[in-house]
Amino acid sequence: MTHAILFYCRPGFEADVEAEFTFKADIPGKWEIGQGFCIFLPKRPADWDKLYRTLECGDWVFPRQIIFVVEALDLPPKDRLTPILTAIDSLHEAHKGPWRDVWIEYPDTNDGKEISSFSRKFGALLDAKLAAKGLANKPDAKARLHLFFPTLERVYIGFTRPDFSVNWQLGIPRLRMPTDAPSRSTLKLAEAFMMLVPESGQVKPGMSAVDLGAAPGGWTWQMVSRGCTKIFAIDNGPMKGSMAIHPSVKHLREDGFKYRPKSPVDWLVCDMVEQPARIAALISDWLVKGHARQAIFNFKLPMKKRWNELQRCLEIIDDALDGAGIRYQIRARHLYHDREEVTCYLTKIKR
Catalytic residues: 300
Examine residue 98 and say whether the peptide bond preceding it is cis (omega within 30 degrees of 0): yes
Closest CA to 38 of 66, 70, 72: 66
Pair 228, 203: CB distance under 8 Å: yes
- Beta bridge mates, 348: 328
Torsion-angle region of residue 59: left (phi > 0), alpha (psi -120 to 50) or beta?
alpha
Contacts of 252-258 with CB under 8 Å at 24 or more apart are: 256/212, 256/213, 256/282, 257/282
Alpha-carbon span 211 to 73, nearest angstrom = 50
Contact 345, 295 (CB under 8 A): yes
- Find, among 243, 271, 267, 279, the residue nearest to 338 by Cα: 271
